[in-house]
Amino acid sequence: MKLPGDTFERIYAGWLGKIVGIRMGSAIEGWTYERIKDVFGELWDYPVAYRNFAADDDSNGPLFFVRALERCRDIRQFSASDVAWSLLNYAPFEHGFFWWGGYGVSTEHTAYLNLRNGIPAPRSGSSLQNGSTMAEQIGGQIFIDPWGLVSPGNPVQAAYLAERAASVTHDGNGIYGGIFLACAISLSFVEKDIASIIDKALGYIPKDCEYARVVKAVIAFHDEHPDDWRQCYKFIYDNYGYDKYPGMCHIIPNAAVMILSLLYGNGDFSKTLCICNMCGWDTDCNVGNLGSIMGVYCGLDGIDYEKWRVPINDFLACSCAVPSMNATDIPSGAAYMASMAYRLAGETPPEPWKSLFERDVEISHFEFPGSTHAIRTSSSAVCHIRNTDEAARSGKRSLKLTASMSGSGDENFFYKQSYYGSCDFDNSRYDPFFSPLAYPGQTLHASLLPVPVDGFEAFARLYAKNGTTGEIFRGEKINSDGVWHDLSLTIPGGQAGYISEIGVILCGVSSGRNNVDLAAYLDDMYVDGAPDYMIGFSGVAMDIWTPLHQEVPQFGRLKGHTYLDGGFLSLSCADFGEMYTGHHSWRDYSISCVMRPLVGDIHLLLARVQGAMSSYAAGFYKNGSIAILKNDSGYMVVKDTPFPWETDNEYQVKIIVRGATVTLEVDGSPLLSWEDPNPITSGCAGIAVQHGSHCLYRDFEIKG
């Protein structure tokens, strides 16, 4: 079947609905129905107003597991092992991403350690390996949304993908729940009735399984008592409550309240999600899954903009192993899933999406109605941002920026935040970490149409800000002439610190008027080019989120013990330790620093890191050698040579990646070079130690 014309918008609505639901339920996750009723009475809004909502497992899993499709050229060969690779690649080792409750306690933790220790998928999540209690917890359905979103109106495909994805960590009803929900999301693209969606989704799981039985029981109760959802909740509590099922968070009770909410919500987005939130139990998981179904079913028009979308502002924090992927926005995830939907359908995306995908940059394009791509404002004036179809440089939409009652000469800043730390969040939920989205040496691009102001000299310009020094780099001024300008600003290279903001300045100057209203349209904002900057640690402190969550600024940690020691970054391990920095889109560049091996025999720099399962490494290796290694689901030495390095000595080490060639330099001398016949083409930078080693690193320089 041909994908419908509103596929992109409906996928965005589904992914947006997922994030709305997660945010709604997160603050009361694990609360009972009684506690919610006692504290809130009726709860028809977000329980908490977050400054920025930190990471959540319910969005981490979908956003990164769906990338398994990149590894599969033939959808007919898609397997659980593809999803297992994504899990191992993107999940940090036993911190962040999801709940690390212990082997035999947390289903995902158990499956992850199974995979790490050579137990393949789908055995990694099977009842045979882990027992039925572990296999039938809720995780089989909470990460499943993208398989429905990439299968609009194609539940057969959704079921096929979801079964393989869920089997990495779950079995039995854990898999059936994933299949059911993925099919429900897929069917929401084409079905006009909630009851029909439920009924048809049931057709893809065994008729006699416990999951199907509880769904049918809730349907039957609703048919007899269609007006009182609280009475239905009591029925579920008495017959399918947590006390009836083993484990920490079984899938069946939570499935029951989701069906309740779908039926009593009567097709209304807000009512469906809020009823589910008031039922309690695993609220962020349940309401998030319903958000996907109802987002697709109702479309963007059915999601109250001011109530649900404005507090989020399209921003999404994650906590995968690659730090530059953790400050993202909802349109980016939706566009990625939509591109996969078209690929799986064997169709060419319509414009402007085809051209956007071909540009191979992370671009703020504003093509989804209402989207902001997490653009923010900072000014003494009253500033607003609004998605509009009034003007566009490409496609059909742009972002309208307004600064009302701006004082003469005042600069009004509209920006995308490039770097986040603990000060930007209210809590440390799922332990996120970040590296910047933009860097010195790179070029900021955007299209601007400044709106003319009668009798007032007004102008606009691009800017970038160094978050360490506070220095603002301003681009050329363009007058408010009412025409589109394609602008660029090269951020000066060779500097230390980090870029905290990239965006637009609106300003007006007048000798006769104190205040004025300024406006401009923004479209197609992105960053490209190679980095050129330094990272030093003298005077730098750890970013302390909580006593148990502390991060080295601009770095993310896969595994190992790390801290700042004077001007050095320290990394040690029992088996292996890795840290990553920079941006995942970098291609040709070098990373150099001073290394001081303290103990052990493997001390490395990393380049083109795509995650824990894919990168290049080079540095000091066993038996007085230096080596170049490739990590392709495991490290392998590809070239080495003797070199008499010693512990507690300092060396200037550089790894250079150009095209297919990897080069290692020590103290300015090129000592090893290797050409990869199947090269890794892009990725961030990093450091690594292995086999119980401990190394100190200082004075990083990263250049294109």
Instruction: Give pLDDT, residue 73.
Output: 77
Model pLDDT, residue 4? 87
* Peptide linkage before 146 cis (omega within 30 of 0): no
Distance of alpha carbon 419 from alpha carbon 535, whole angstroms: 14
The answer to whether 564 and 570 have CB atoms below 8 angstroms apart is: yes
Same-domain check for residues 505 and 634: no
Say if residue 381's pLDDT is above 90: no
Structural domain including 653 reads 534-703
In a domain, 1, yes or no: no
Spatial separation of the C-alpha atoms in residues 461 and 518, rounded to whole Å: 13
**Do 576 and 499 lie in a common domain?**
no
How confident is the model over 194-206, as a mean pLDDT?
A: 98
Mean pLDDT score, 392-417: 93
Same domain, 596 and 697: yes
Question: Do 437 and 561 have their domain in common?
Answer: no
Cβ neighbours for 265, distance < 8 A, ≥ 6 positions apart: 194, 271, 272, 273, 275, 276, 294
In a domain, 514, yes or no: yes
pLDDT digits (tens, 9 = 90+) for 597-647: 999 999 999 999 999 999 999 999 998 999 999 999 999 999 999 999 999
Tell the burial category of 636 from Cβ atoms under 10 Å away from its Cβ (0-12, 13-18, 19+). exposed
Nearest to 87 by CA among 56, 54, 115: 115
pLDDT digits (tens, 9 = 90+) for 415-428: 999 999 999 999 99
Stretch 118-133: mean pLDDT: 98
CATH number of the domain residue 399 falls in = 2.60.120.260
Task: Spell out the residues 6+ positions from residue 430 whose beta carbon is closer than 8 angstroms to its own.
Answer: 54, 55, 56, 57, 60, 96, 97, 98, 319
Nearest to 97 by CA among 61, 63, 141: 61
Whether residue 352 is preceded by a cis peptide bond, meaning omega within 30 degrees of 0, is yes
Residue 70 lies in a domain: yes
Say how far apart CA 318 and CA 308 lie, in whole Å. 19
Helix (H) / strand (E) containing 651: strand 651-658
Give the residue ranges of DSSP H helices in 420-545: none
Domain boundary among 495, 529, 563: 529
Give tens-digit pLDDT for 643-687.
Answer: 999 999 999 999 999 999 999 999 999 999 999 999 999 999 999
Cα gap 205→272, rounded to integer Å: 24
If you average pLDDT over residues 327-355, what whole number do you get?
96
Whether residues 572 and 610 fall in one domain: yes
* Average pLDDT in the chain: 96
Question: Greater confidence, 360 or 296?
Answer: 296
pLDDT band at 386 (very low <50, low <70, confident <90, very high): very high
Last residue of a domain, one of 268, 293, 317: 317
Task: Among 130-144, 305-319, 451-465, 546-560, name the one with the lowest average pLDDT.
Answer: 451-465
Give dist(CA 218, CA 232) in Å, integer. 8
Do residues 687 and 586 share a domain? yes
Q: Where do we find the tokens 């393989």?
A: 164
Q: What percent of the chain has pLDDT over 90?
A: 94
The pLDDT tens digits for 287-296 are 999 999 999 9
The number of beta carbons lying within 10 Å of the beta carbon of residue 646 is: 9
Q: With a cut of 80, say whether residue 511 has pLDDT above it.
A: no
Give the CATH number, domain containing residue 646: 2.60.120.560
Q: Give the number of domains in the chain.
A: 3
Position 407 confidence tier, pLDDT thresholds 50, 70, 90: confident
Which residues is 556 bridged to in the sheet?
A: 580
pLDDT(212) > 80: yes
- What number of other Cβ atoms are within 10 A of residue 77's Cβ? 8
Which residues make Cβ contacts (< 8 Å) with residue 261, sequence separation at least 6? 229, 272, 273, 275, 276, 279, 286, 290
Q: Which CATH number belongs to the domain containing residue 303 in this structure?
A: 1.10.4080.10
pLDDT recorded at residue 243: 96
Domain stops at, among 273, 299, 317:
317
Residue 325 counted as domain residue: no
Total residues found in the chain within this entry: 704
Contacts of 77 (CB under 8 A, 6+ apart): none
Q: Percentage of the chain surpassing pLDDT 70?
A: 100
Q: What is the DSSP letter of 309?
A: I
Same domain, 413 and 554: no
Give a yes or no: residue 339 inside a domain. no
At residue 442, φ and ψ (nearest 5 deg) are -85, 170
**Could you tell me the end-to-end alpha-carbon distance of the chain, in angstroms, rounded to an integer?**
45
Predicted pLDDT of residue 513: 63
Report whether pLDDT(460) > 70.
yes
Give dist(CA 342, CA 240) in Å, integer.
40
Residues 259-283 pLDDT 10s = 999 999 999 999 999 999 999 999 9
Rg, C-alpha atoms of the chain: 26
Residue 384 lies in a domain: yes
Alpha-carbon distance of 111 to 116, in angstroms, equals: 9
Same domain (yes/no): 269, 204: yes
Neighbour count for residue 703 (Cβ, 10 Å): 18
- Say if residue 402 is exposed, middle or buried (CB neighbours under 10 Å; 0-12, 13-18, 19+): buried
Q: Let me know if residue 360 belongs to a domain.
A: no
Q: Cα dist. 542→55, 115, 141 in Å?
A: 20, 32, 36
- Please report the pLDDT score of residue 489 as a whole number: 98
Q: Are residues 61 and 97 in the same domain?
A: yes
Domain assignment present for residue 649? The answer is yes
Whether 233 and 175 share a structural domain: yes
One domain, residues 484 and 547: no
Longest dimension (CA), the chain: 81
Q: How far is CA 441 from CA 489, 503, 533, 653, 704, in A?
A: 10, 16, 7, 22, 8
Provide the 10 A C-beta neighbour count for residue 423: 8
Based on the fold, state whether residues 483 and 558 are members of the same structural domain. Answer: no
